[in-house]
């Protein structure tokens, strides 16, 4: 595995100069995901205090376990949602370049960040599999890859849990969510997902993976289908959190 990683890094080094792909100035290696120390330091990690249900970060001194008003108002199908960094500044750029510019060279960085956050949880709690949020076939043909599936495989490599990409299907090609309200997002994806091939996962505890958590409408819809398929529990992990 180490030899393969070194080979990949060597090939990347032949194609890309060892310079940060965000600031375009500082030195950064393939093993660092082409992100320099300065830009990495500008990432805003999502740390407590945050809502124990959806992971929405809060500023100030909060010393008790709490849920945000949004979670009190919504019927949620997942037990918890956690993210690695805020979708602001460098974090937003990383996600945008990865998702729309096929910037796969960031994956060593993503793997490291996900491993540091997800592995401790899987050591203290039992989880059975990793499920990526699916793309609609038309969107998959257009983009040629599903970023959630690639991230799910990074989580799988760190935890040893199998990836189950056969449990969910996206059956509706919904409009973009970026300019919709919370209620509109929920309505937009309410019937967008279904179980795939009648797959059942009785009593399984599932880690659902996506790139960004904003209102939670997409992941909540997916978690609902997984619960209908028999999942005992669903937790959500994303790289970035809209704040």
Rounded to two decimals, the pTM is 0.89
Query: How many CB atoms are closer than 10 A to CB 223?
Result: 27
Query: What pLDDT shows up at residue 6?
Result: 45
pLDDT band at 72 (very low <50, low <70, confident <90, very high): confident
Q: Please report the DSSP string for 35-49 in residue order.
A: --HHHHHT--B--SS
pLDDT band at 1 (very low <50, low <70, confident <90, very high): very low
Q: What is the pLDDT of residues 165-209, one digit of tens each?
A: 999 999 987 766 566 676 777 777 888 999 987 778 999 999 999
Please tell me the number of Cα atoms within 13 Å of 135 on its side-chain side: 17
- Share the mean pLDDT of the chain: 89
Kindly list the domain boundaries of the chain, sorted by start residue. 79-241
**Backbone φ/ψ region at 71: left (φ over 0), alpha (ψ -120 to 50), beta:** alpha
* Pairing assessment for the beta strands 168-170 and 193-195 based on DSSP bridges: antiparallel
Q: Which fold has domain 79-241?
A: Rossmann fold (3.40.50)
Determine what percent of the chain is predicted with pLDDT higher than 90: 74
Q: What is the pLDDT of residues 107-146, one digit of tens each?
A: 999 999 999 999 999 999 999 999 999 999 999 999 999 9
Cα separation values, 50 from 58, 67, 105, 227, Å: 5, 8, 30, 25
């Amino acid at each position: 595995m180490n030899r393969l990683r070194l080979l990949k890094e060597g090939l990347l080094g032949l194609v890309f100069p060892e310079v940060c792909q965000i600031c375009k100035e500082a030195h950064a290696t393939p093993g660092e995901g082409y992100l320099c120390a300065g830009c990495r330091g500008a990432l805003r990690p999502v740390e407590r205090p945050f809502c124990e249900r959806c992971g929405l970060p809060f500023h100030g001194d909060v010393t008790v376990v709490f849920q945000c008003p949004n979670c009190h108002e919504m019927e949620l199908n997942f037990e918890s949602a956690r993210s690695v960094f805020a979708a602001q500044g460098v974090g937003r750029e990383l996600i945008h370049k990865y998702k729309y510019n096929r910037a796969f060279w960031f994956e060593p960085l993503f793997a490291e960040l996900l491993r540091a956050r997800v592995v401790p949880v899987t050591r203290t709690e039992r989880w059975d599999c990793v499920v990526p949020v699916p793309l609609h076939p038309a969107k998959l043909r257009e983009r040629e890859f599903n970023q959630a599936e690639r991230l799910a495989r990074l989580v799988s490599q760190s935890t040893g849990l199998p990836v189950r990409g056969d449990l969910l299907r996206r059956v509706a090609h919904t409009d973009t969510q970026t300019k919709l309200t919370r209620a509109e997002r929920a309505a937009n994806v309410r019937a967008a997902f279904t179980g795939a091939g009648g797959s059942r996962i009785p009593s399984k505890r599932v880690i659902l993976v996506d790139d960004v958590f904003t209102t939670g409408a997409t992941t909540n819809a997916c978690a609902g289908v997984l619960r209908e398929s028999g999942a005992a529990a669903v937790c959500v992990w994303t790289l970035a959190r809209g704040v």
